[in-house]
Amino acid sequence: MKILVVGGGGREHALCWALAASPLCDELYCAPGNAGIAEEATCLEIAADDVDALVKAASDKAVDLVVVGPEAPLVAGLVDALEAAGIRAFGPSKAAAELEGSKAFAKYLCDQHGIPTAAFQRFTDPAEAKAYVASQPLPIVVKADGLAAGKGVTVCQSHAEAERAIEEALVDKRFGAAGDSVIVEECLTGQEVSAFALVDGDTALMLPCAQDHKAAYDGDTGPNTGGMGAYSPTPLVDEATAEVIQSTILQPTVDAMKAEGRPFKGLLYAGLMMTPDGPKVLEYNVRFGDPECQVLMMRLMSDLLPALLAACDGVLDSFDMRWFAETAVSVVLAARGYPGSYEKGEAIGGLEALKELDDVIAFHAGTKADGDGTVRSNGGRVLTMTALGGSIEEARQRAYTAIDQIDWPGGFCRRDIGWHALGKLTIETED
């Protein structure tokens, strides 16, 4: 088969790595890809959100399956355009991608279909939103409705802070149209877990859970990022808890989307708060997380390609996937300054030697190769060092030992990825 992966981050490198290993995969393309992906796939110079050019490339190359990594092209309708051109695509339609594209829609869906989530109200009028906030206990959460690159949510400790967050979205238009409405919601307490399912419109096939680290610096301090690290499994989710997540959240969400006339196909990612009353939905994403995808691919024992095809073809109910019981940890190496401004084009050494190592892979994110083969930084998140080990300690040690072999003075990483789990590794870690 000929496969095209859309995107160029660590997530897409992990997907390409897994797909390239499939005996069913004859030719692998990636648009736009990166220096690491170029070792697995033929990279096409097409931006991940250039819907017309992607459809044309897929049809010119007679691609059998397109796998869409990032959310922007999904929300823009890439899968609809591909299917209209007769090309099979893994990912939700534009209507189904609203689950991520609009937090208001996600809240409506949970509300209508009894899926546990924080109590909330939606507002377009700043005065009404502020009046509501004044009547609510603290802390309180204000969220811009649309895609805001991880910057649209404020957990507010004071009413004044909440009023500012409301003004920034509704009056100052800090998020553009993504902030035309806001959700004001109850602040939940607990630890956060990322739950995943492959979905074919009817069936949610649950994958192992993961935990991620969004803050830039150690101790969960500093600005919010796209993600600085992840690990799977998490001691927070034993088999019984996984069953609760599957039966109260993942499958009900798939049923609800079908009932709403927006059947969901692709990868469903539920961001959950493990509250004293059970898991509740914080948000949905409609694609693999980055770097959560890297830890999942590292743990995947089965062939990824037939699983994605089963989701596209509506036959997940008779499908099963196998996972290594080991723990995978992914640590992001980012350019100093990220998520603010940073340098690009710096040479990154030490990558060749890592290829010899077992159980660790340097999945590339923002990298670009020179004519002479030198790998250079080309984005904020640059490498996602992903390791498998018999315990979280062992996986961490492998990931950090590999990171210490990278020669790139301009990079930084968190040193505490997995620390949430380390204090509580008394539970058997089989998902």
Ligand X SMILES: Nc1ncnc2c1ncn2[C@@H]1O[C@H](COP(=O)(O)OP(=O)(O)O)[C@@H](O)[C@H]1O
Using CB under 6 A as the criterion, which residues of the chain lie in contact with ligand X when the complex forms? 118, 141, 143, 150, 152-153, 155, 185-188, 192, 271, 282-283
CB nearer ligand X, residue 36 or residue 229: 229
CB nearer Mg ion, residue 128 or residue 283: 283
The Cα–Cα gap between 70 and 47 comes to: 11
188 binds, among Mg ion, ligand X, none (CB under 5 to 8 A by kind): ligand X
- At its nearest, how many Å lie between Mg ion and the CB of residue 194? 9
With beta carbons less than 8 A apart as the criterion, state whether 308 and 277 touch. no
CB nearer ligand X, residue 182 or residue 406: 182
For residue 186, give both structure tokens. 């109850």
Q: Could you tell me which stretch among 52-60, 183-191, 233-241, 267-275 binds Mg ion (CB under 5 A)?
A: 267-275
369 binds, among Mg ion, ligand X, none (CB under 5 to 8 A by kind): none
Q: Could you tell me which stretch among 59-67, 118-126, 179-187, 278-286 binds Mg ion (CB under 5 A)?
A: 278-286
Size of the site for Mg ion (CB under 5 A): 2
Long-range contacts at 315-320 (CB < 8 A, ≥ 24 apart): 315/200, 316/198, 316/199, 316/200, 316/202, 316/203, 316/205, 317/200, 317/202, 317/203, 319/205, 320/205
- At its nearest, how many Å lie between Mg ion and the CB of residue 386? 20
187 binds, among Mg ion, ligand X, none (CB under 5 to 8 A by kind): ligand X
Residue 291: asked if its preceding bond is cis (omega within 30°), the reply is yes
- Residue of minimal Cβ distance to ligand X: 283
Nearest Cα to 150, choosing from 285, 344, 315, 43?
A: 285
CB nearer ligand X, residue 128 or residue 283: 283
Q: What torsion, rounded to 10 degrees, do the Cα atoms 381, 384, 385, 388 define?
A: 150
The Cα–Cα gap between 54 and 50 comes to: 6
What is the DSSP annotation of 350-402? -HHHHTT-SSEEEEESSEEE-TTS-EEE-SSEEEEEEEEESSHHHHHHHHHHH
- Residue of minimal Cβ distance to Mg ion: 271
CB nearer Mg ion, residue 152 or residue 263: 152
Report in angstroms the alpha-carbon separations of 367 from 155, 314, 334: 33, 36, 11
With beta carbons less than 8 A apart as the criterion, state whether 33 and 368 touch. no
For residue 413, give both structure tokens. 């990483």
CB nearer ligand X, residue 133 or residue 312: 133
| Alpha-helix runs per DSSP H in 153-250 | 159-170, 239-245
83 binds, among Mg ion, ligand X, none (CB under 5 to 8 A by kind): none
CB nearer ligand X, residue 88 or residue 103: 103
- At its nearest, how many Å lie between Mg ion and the CB of residue 269? 9
- At its nearest, how many Å lie between ligand X and the CB of residue 127? 23
- At its nearest, how many Å lie between ligand X and the CB of residue 153? 4
CB nearer ligand X, residue 27 or residue 192: 192
- CB atoms closer than 10 angstroms to residue 95: 17
- At its nearest, how many Å lie between ligand X and the CB of residue 185? 5
DSSP 3-state of 322: coil
- At its nearest, how many Å lie between ligand X and the CB of residue 100? 8
185 binds, among ligand X, Mg ion, none (CB under 5 to 8 A by kind): ligand X
Which of 126-146 are b and which e, b meaning 16 or more Cβ less than 10 Å from the residue's Cβ?
eeebbeebeebeeebbbbbbb
Of 271, 278, 306, 350, which lies in the binding site for Mg ion, with binding defined by CB under 5 A? 271
Binding site for Mg ion (CB under 5 A): 271, 283
